[in-house]
Amino acid sequence: MRAWAGLPLVAAVLLAVAALLALTLGTPVVPPHRVPGALAGGSGGSDDLATVLIREIRLPRLLLALVAGACLGAAGLVLQEALRNPLAVPEMLGVSSGAALGVAAPLVLSLSLPLWAHPLLAVAGAGLGGVLTLAAAGFGRGPSAVLLTGAAVAAALQAALLVLMVLADQLDLQLIYRYLLGSFAGRGWDAWGGVWPWLLAAAPLLVLCLPVLAVLRLGDETAGALGVRVRRARLAALAVAVLLIAPVVAVCGPVAWVGFLAPHLARRLRPGADVVRLLPWAVVWGAVVTVWADLAARLALAPTETPVGAWTALVGVPVGVALLKAGRRPREPHARNRPGAPYEPQGPYEPQGPYAPQNPYEPSGAYEPSGRSVAVGPYTVAAPARTSEEASRHGRTGRP
């Protein structure tokens, strides 16, 4: 059985345990045996505290964390495959910063907008940041150039956010500060109105772009030779990633580095798999990471709740870097091939079969050694004796 055959069971157990803890732990604690009844409607009617707590507060928060992690994991994989860069994440390409800027600007400018308009602004800001990065870096012709340009664009957008925070009053400043760190606190069923339409639009587009991503992995020249228009394909992949990231950022804020950790977990657990097989694993591990990070945000410093984005960044960056280094670690060379090891000659090649001579340095046949020796490399080989015809010819020409 292959080593990864039991991974679906492990992921299912992690998700089930996280879901149970998310529904039961907190203030107050709900016993696990009351969870099924509360999900079904409760036995005490709508006034039952456990029913209201689970169905109206904890369940929508759990589902939102699952969907947000899945979207961020898929978006991170799309960006890394499209740009052929394992460090290509939304936080380093200006996508998350652009989405946050699009949502925070109306708040500071005191513009009253309906809730459904926030994802539109997030999509516009995320698209602007991604297009600026690709345009400045030459549409990804060099992976390192895209990464450096994306870091510069993200820094510029974050500087614009700092300017907005200076102009905001005290109440808006607190709201923007918590929003920029990412949090699922206070998100109920009304938050789903700004998420599910975009996810329905992004899911089929994500499936359609997978074959193109598999070709882009081969390199720009090979993809162009196979008929793929590289710039258009890369823009299409960016558009799909924006549709996955922007609704999450609009509702929850930028939950950092989930798009970096989830694809590397998928590659570590399924080495050598193509992008079609990696996508489900990136989705699953993104959901697992986000739900467990939300549990830590709720319970680690209870009764104070910390932002979930702080936990994902705190855990995601070192673990992702460790996975990246482990994936690139070269194999241990053979002792004979290690640097500084003494040279061990393998010996001369000895042909097999009926043509193999008894001694490769002593020719057989009509010739006999004449006593002369000829140096050939590190060996001394006995020269064959001249025949009478060769001796007379050499005598006539005067050559030795």
**The predicted structure's pLDDT at residue 234:** 87
Q: What is the pLDDT of residue 28?
A: 87
Q: Are 54 and 114 in contact (CB under 8 A)?
A: no
Q: Which of 247, 223, 253 has the alpha carbon at shortest distance from 107?
A: 253
Cβ within 8 Å of residue 107, ≥6 positions away: 168, 172, 175, 176
Peptide bond into 36 cis (omega under 30): no
Q: Which of 289, 293, 291 is nearest to 261 (CA)?
A: 289
Rounded distance between C-alpha atoms, residue 200 and residue 69, angstroms? 16
H-run or E-run covering 376: strand 369-376
CA 111 from chain centre, in angstroms, equals 37
Chunked into runs of 10 residues, the chain (400 residues) has average pLDDT values of 63 91 90 87 62 91 94 94 87 89 86 82 90 77 76 91 86 84 88 84 93 89 89 89 91 91 89 89 94 94 89 88 72 47 50 50 48 51 54 50
Task: Tell me the pairing of strands 379-384 and 369-376.
Answer: antiparallel
Q: Do 24 and 57 touch, CB atoms closer than 8 A?
A: no
The pLDDT assigned to 364 comes to 47
**Distance from the Cα of residue 139 to its chain's centroid:** 19
| Contact status, residue 253 vs residue 180, Cβ threshold 8 Å | yes
Contacts of 364 (CB under 8 A, 6+ apart): 357, 358
d(C-alpha 393, C-alpha 32), whole Å: 107
Alpha-carbon distance of 127 to 122, in angstroms, equals 8
Token couple for 66: 């699952």
The 3-state DSSP class for residue 295 equals helix
Question: How far from the centroid of its chain's Cα atoms is residue 327's Cα?
Answer: 12
Distance CA 335, CA 354 (A): 36
- The secondary structure of residue 382, as a DSSP letter, is E
Q: What is the pLDDT of residue 332?
A: 46
